[in-house]
């Protein structure tokens, strides 16, 4: 039996670019037959709804609200929901898994870190880091190419809303450097015309099971 997971998605509660609430997203993925989703709302240094004036602890509580709403809906309707985020540096985005609210509260000001500092902090605490859509070209992206391979644990080689050329270049980069690959929809609203993700052979009991399978290259791209 195979189990499908979304690795890259947003909620309108937190991500300014999203058009569907956490519950609407959960409902859509249940209808599509997914086993689970990873909520990866934009961190406060990205395209976030988080009010600037809030103190750090209140910002982190706001930031995790999309996940909390999704988890509540997932528990109610029958979808596994895991926590992550999309961290932005110079327009480049990094999917981050395996850390929690406690980590966020303990690291005020982490939104100002550069590539090297952020990578070191995440991995020091056992987190997983994958560069999302590394070759995406948009006016707001200053760094539209991959970071040094040693700074990440994996690469998003297929993004459902990216161009074929960008995805192909991402795939070739990951292959050249023998980096684990993953795929995701980059969903901003329920009812996307095209979905993606990863397929596991065993049901994930936690986000760490998903990280382990990605790192061990024991997944299929959806």
Integer Cα distance of 51 and 55 in angstroms: 9
Residue 193: what pLDDT?
Answer: 79
Q: What pLDDT, on a 0 to 100 scale, did the predictor assign at position 79?
A: 98
Q: What is the pLDDT of residue 101?
A: 98
Q: Per-residue pLDDT for the chain (222 aa), expressed as one digit of tens each?
A: 899 999 999 999 999 999 999 999 999 999 999 999 999 999 999 999 999 999 999 999 999 999 999 999 999 999 999 999 999 999 999 999 999 999 999 999 999 999 999 999 999 999 999 999 999 998 888 899 999 999 999 999 999 999 999 999 999 999 999 999 999 999 999 987 799 999 999 999 999 999 999 999 999 999
User: For the domain bounded by 3-221, which CATH number is listed?
Assistant: 3.20.20.140
| Helix or strand (DSSP H, E) at 199 | strand 198-200
pTM of structure: 0.97
């Amino acid at each position: 039996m195979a189990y499908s997971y979304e690795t890259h998605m947003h909620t309108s509660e937190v991500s300014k670019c999203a058009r569907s609430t956490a519950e609407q997203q959960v409902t859509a993925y249940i209808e599509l037959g997914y086993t689970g989703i990873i909520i990866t709302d934009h961190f406060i240094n990205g395209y976030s709804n988080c009010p600037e004036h809030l103190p750090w602890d209140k910002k982190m509580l706001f930031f995790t609200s999309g996940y909390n709403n999704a988890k509540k809906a997932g528990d109610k309707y029958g979808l596994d929901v895991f926590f992550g985020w999309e961290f932005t540096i110079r327009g480049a985005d990094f999917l981050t898994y395996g850390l929690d609210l406690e980590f966020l509260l303990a690291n005020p000001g982490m939104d100002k870190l550069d590539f090297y500092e952020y990578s070191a902090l995440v991995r020091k605490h056992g987190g997983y880091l994958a560069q999302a859509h590394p070759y995406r070209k948009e006016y707001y992206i200053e760094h539209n190419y991959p970071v040094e391979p040693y700074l990440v644990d994996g690469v998003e080689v297929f993004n459902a809303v990216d161009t074929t050329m960008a995805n192909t270049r991402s795939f070739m980069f990951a292959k050249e450097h023998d980096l684990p690959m993953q795929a995701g929809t980059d969903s901003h609203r329920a009812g996307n015309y095209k979905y993606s993700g990863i397929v596991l052979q065993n049901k994930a009991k936690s986000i760490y099971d998903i990280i382990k399978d990605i790192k061990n290259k024991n997944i299929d791209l959806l």
